[in-house]
Amino acid sequence: MAILTCAKCGAKNRVDERVTVIGRQPVCGRCGARLQADGEAASTGGATATGAGGKPVAVTDETFEREVVSASGSRPVLLDCWAAWCGPCRMIAPALDSLAAEAGGRYLVAKLNVDENPQTAARLGIQSIPTLFIYKNGQAVERIVGAQSKQVLAARLSAHL
């Protein structure tokens, strides 16, 4: 039995792992939103702890320097600053998942939940979300505020490859 957190309302749901294996999609018992199994990472807005399998990397106050600043020395990092309650943040999450899956090691996609990581959010001067940054060589080289299409994000990111 797995516990999945709903990305929409935050409710914790017990889900039998066999449900997803046989092709059925679990939904939240509170709000009815689609739940995503581990590896799909809906509970973190599309971010996983390891970034394995072409998914965005979850960044925290403790891991920001390592996952974003240090990692941007060898390749650009697209950092999404988001919150679970933010509609536009949820709208761009699939685009970020897709960009992460297409990265092929050329760049890294990372996500910072501003509600759970207020120190880093304050240090970055986040005043509205979604706010995205492109880091290169340890520095933020571009700031993108508001929901953008996958094509716009890909173009802005490719300018820094």
Active site residues: 86, 89
What is d(CA 80, CA 96) in angstroms, rounded to the nearest whole number? 8
Helices 150-158, 87-102: inter-axial angle, 10-degree rounding: 50
What is d(CA 93, CA 116) in angstroms, rounded to the nearest whole number? 17
Q: Tokens in use for 54?
A: 């072409």
